[in-house]
Amino acid sequence: MKFPCVVSFLALALSAPTAQAISVDGRIDPVEWQGAQHVTDFRLTQPLTRAPVPQPTEAWILATPEGLAVGFRNTQPASVPRTRQHLQRDQNAQADRVNLYVDFDGDGRAGYDFRVYLSNSIGDLTITNENQFNADWDGDWRHATSEDDAGWSVEMLIPWHLAPMRDREGGRRTLGIQLDRTIGATGERASWPAVSFSEQRYLSALNKIEVPLYRQTLLAVTPYVAAVSDLMAGRYAADAGADVFWKPNGRFQLSASINPDFSQVESDALVVNFSATETFFNEKRPFFTENQNFFDVPFGAYNGRSRLVYTRRVGAGSDDGTGQGDVTAAVKLNGSGAGFNFGLFAATEADAEGRDFQAARVTRDWEHQGVGAMITRVTRPNLDREASVLEFDHRWMPNASWSVRTAAAGSLVAKSGEKVRDTGAQARIDWDMGGGWRQQLYLLHLGDDFQMSDFGYLERNNFNLARYDLARRYTSFPEASRYRSSDWHAVVSTRYTDRGLHIADTLTLNRTGQLRNGGNDAFEIGVWGPWRDDLTTRGHGLVEMRSSLWATYDHSRPRQGDSPWSFDAGAGFLAQGVGDFAGGEMRAEFVPTYHASDRLRIFTGLEVDRDPEWLLWRGRENVLGEYRKRMLSLNAGTEWLIDDRQELRIRLESIGLDAKAKRAWNTGAGGKPQPASTMIQNFGLRSLGFQVRYRYELAPLSYLYIAYVRGGDSIDDGLGPFTAHREFRKSMELRDSEQVLVKLSYRFE
């Protein structure tokens, strides 16, 4: 009697849907994907018509013990050309690809974008603040593609240990998910659900799906060794360190680094910046990009660049001016408990003059709103300075049309026994009115003594801004039109200092368009009324500027059919200054790219810039110099992806600039410029950055680099003669530094 019952029970158990092991080979096996959620309702989101897609796409979503598995089947007949371009990791291109967007906690706070191209090239990005994407982070996940006459397929497997996730009760987890597919030849994007990252609400609008709650543990150690040969000094140096990643459960994640890798094999773009605003650089060091999005809290600018934690401060130029700060150790902890998410960050630099950095953040979310708080602290012994910032933020999304985000912060700086306090606040209110119409109101207050740049990045303080943006999206273009869709924005704003001084009122009109050939273009025109510049003199008075006008146009065209060429082009005009109008600044840029094959591309970017009214502070209180500037810039290189593991990159950047002195100005009471007798000199500037880099991928996130790097900068002043072409040619002779670097890193799990 018992034997038939046992047989029946086993038969029932074997026939029940279970999570199959997915063999990630790019081929959709119905047996492997049995029990998966099947998605077929893809809609056009580029252009954002939400109409049925012209090329059928279907996908499968399956939670397995090994990770979140997603498969795509993309129908693409021979009449629709396929773009198989091979790309460096995180490099963007108008090519056939699919994207998986995941919010592992389903609360709209943070998400990840995993993209796989037809060529099996990949990219992975983090998403914060609804639609702010950051490509600094690299994760360890699996992917594969395959193709046939009817189309092509993709399989992905995202391990559960890849991101910090809150534990859930009842053995189930709620994910935010979007799937999409882009056709390179047309630029069309098909998505499920039919929401676009160009909308004001994106991350919180992803589809919510429930999956079984799986947990994974991981301990990964990535040691590295690096050797540098300084060809100029005839010296050799070696360095070593290690990154540690530990995830004992789903609620806790720890990253630590001893002598962090400073990405000697990466390089920043050349920049000429004589302004009072600091240049912003992206992070490149592996430890500082690992799960950093929890600490990426934008504050102080509507464009999202200003932030409370700017990790490039850690290990930046030392306070005693002797070189770069030497980071000895850093640690980062992410976790959750009792409905809260929390994170801790700490880093310390060597020697008595070294700085110490700490940050802590906590968040709590409900169905339609969430709150968060962050505190940062920096100790700078060499300056006898200690700086702290405390921030609170709140987000409220009562329905699909409205989104309200507010934040307030206070800073406390103690220097040589004196303490300075001040505050800042911001509010962003978005309203999607339907029918393609959107509105946004942004309000910002930054106190005169509000300071957060010891650890964060703030473009400026002593600032009040009110900005209103009315937008309209058009998607119904006739077939004969060169456009598929366009977005128009009309923006008005007013700016004041915290002391009530009126800086400027502005009016801007811009439009971005998606073309039927897969390219895009954009133009903008704007005007400032007569305005006051309170930054150029670095605190030595105002400068009254006449009304300003600017206009820009940019165009991008991808490869078409069998053509090996793609290009980007742009032009701009800016008329501003203090004296009589002299014609305004004109800029033009052209970047043609020759695709010798799907794995080899050669590009040459040339930019020319002419400004007859270039205004510079000369470092002497209220003295300004007016120059005629001419600049020539080159950004060229070759990228050869030898195979799926090897790549060779050659990059050349060069700048030549000449500035011919025209006159000097003094700013008197009220900021009105007066001609001055101060002598100013002509000057010339040249800069060079050249790199040849070979990379071999030993295993996931494990690399061998060999690089040759050369560069330099030079500024000469006097009578000259200086010409942009001469400075550009002489830049090729620069040899301030010349190095050969070898670096090996290997991830042990």
461, 488, 514 - which closes a domain: 461
pLDDT reading at 356 higher than 90: yes
pLDDT tens for each residue of 212-232: 999 889 999 999 999 999 999
Whether 35 and 145 map to the same domain: the answer is yes
Whether 332 and 410 map to the same domain: the answer is yes
pLDDT reading at 539 higher than 90: no
Domain tally, the chain: 2
314 is a domain residue: yes
Assess whether the previous peptide bond of 47 is cis (omega < 30° from 0).
Answer: yes
pLDDT reading at 712 higher than 60: yes
High-pLDDT (> 90) share of the chain, %: 74
The DSSP result for 194-257, as a single string, is S--TTSSS-GGGSEEEEEE-----EEEEEEEEEEEEETTTTEEEEEEEEEEEEEEETTEEEEEE
Q: Are 676 and 664 in contact (CB under 8 A)?
A: yes
Cα dihedral: 142, 145, 146, 150 (round 10): 140
pLDDT at residue 618, rounded to an integer: 86
Whether 192 and 255 map to the same domain: the answer is no
416, 443, 461 - which closes a domain: 461
Whether 162 and 37 map to the same domain: the answer is yes
pLDDT reading at 167 higher than 90: no
Cα dihedral: 271, 324, 128, 446 (round 10): -80
How many of the other CB atoms lie within 10 Å of CB of 725? Answer: 11
Whether 25 and 99 map to the same domain: the answer is yes
638 is a domain residue: no
Greater pLDDT, 201 or 363:
363
Q: Indicate the pairing of strand 327-337 with strand 340-349.
A: antiparallel
By C-alpha distance, which of 187, 184, 199, 178 is closest to 47? 187
- 418-429 as b/e, with b when 16 or more CB fall inside 10 Å? eeeebebbbebb
pLDDT reading at 284 higher than 90: no
Q: Are 505 and 494 in contact (CB under 8 A)?
A: yes
pLDDT reading at 126 higher than 80: yes
Whether 319 and 384 map to the same domain: the answer is yes
Whether 173 and 62 map to the same domain: the answer is yes
High-pLDDT (> 70) share of the chain, %: 97
CATH code of 22's domain: 2.60.40.1190
By C-alpha distance, which of 123, 110, 70, 101 is closest to 177? 101
Task: Give the residue-averaged pLDDT of 269-289.
Answer: 87
pLDDT at residue 272, rounded to an integer: 87
pLDDT at residue 557, rounded to an integer: 93
Q: Which tokens go with 310?
A: 């700017």
The amino acid that residue 322 corresponds to is T
pLDDT tens for each residue of 392-408: 999 999 998 999 999 99
Task: Give the residue-averaged pLDDT of 370-385.
Answer: 96
146 is a domain residue: yes
* Confidence at 179, pLDDT banded by 50, 70, 90: very high
**Alpha carbon distance 165, 167 (integer Å):** 6
295 is a domain residue: yes
Whether 195 and 258 map to the same domain: the answer is no
Q: What are the helix and strand counts (H, E) for the chain?
A: 3, 40
pLDDT reading at 422 higher than 80: yes
**Alpha carbon distance 343, 374 (integer Å):** 9
In the numeric block, the tokens 């534990």 are attached to: 167
Whether 290 and 421 map to the same domain: the answer is yes
pLDDT at residue 71, rounded to an integer: 97
The amino acid that residue 496 corresponds to is Y
Domain containing residue 163: 18-216
pLDDT at residue 730, rounded to an integer: 95
pLDDT at residue 12, rounded to an integer: 34
528 is a domain residue: no
Whether 160 and 290 map to the same domain: the answer is no
Whether 150 and 299 map to the same domain: the answer is no
pLDDT at residue 579, rounded to an integer: 79
Q: Are 280 and 357 in contact (CB under 8 A)?
A: no
Through-space distance between the first and last CA atoms of the chain, rounded to whole angstroms: 50
29 is a domain residue: yes
Whether 348 and 210 map to the same domain: the answer is no
550 is a domain residue: no
197 is a domain residue: yes
Q: What is the 3-state secondary structure (H, E, C) of 463-516?
A: EEEEEEEEEEEECCCCCCCCEEEEEEEEEEEEEECCCCCEEEEEEEEEEEEEEC
pLDDT at residue 621, rounded to an integer: 77
pLDDT at residue 15, rounded to an integer: 37
Task: Give the residue-averaged pLDDT of 516-527.
Answer: 94
461, 491, 512 - which closes a domain: 461
pLDDT at residue 143, rounded to an integer: 97
Task: Give the residue-averaged pLDDT of 516-533.
Answer: 93
Q: Which helix (H) or strand (E) holds 731?
A: helix 724-731
- 466-483 as b/e, with b when 16 or more CB fall inside 10 Å? ebebebebbbebeeeeeb
pLDDT at residue 560, rounded to an integer: 83
Task: Give the residue-averaged pLDDT of 280-308.
Answer: 87
By C-alpha distance, which of 497, 392, 388, 393 is closest to 453? 388
pLDDT at residue 264, rounded to an integer: 64
> What is the radius of gyration, based on Cα positions, of the chain?
28
**Alpha carbon distance 98, 120 (integer Å):** 10
pLDDT tens for each residue of 30-61: 999 999 999 999 999 999 999 999 999 999 99
Mean pLDDT score across all residues of the chain: 91
pLDDT tens for each residue of 217-273: 999 999 999 999 999 999 999 999 999 999 988 788 899 999 886 656 777 788 888
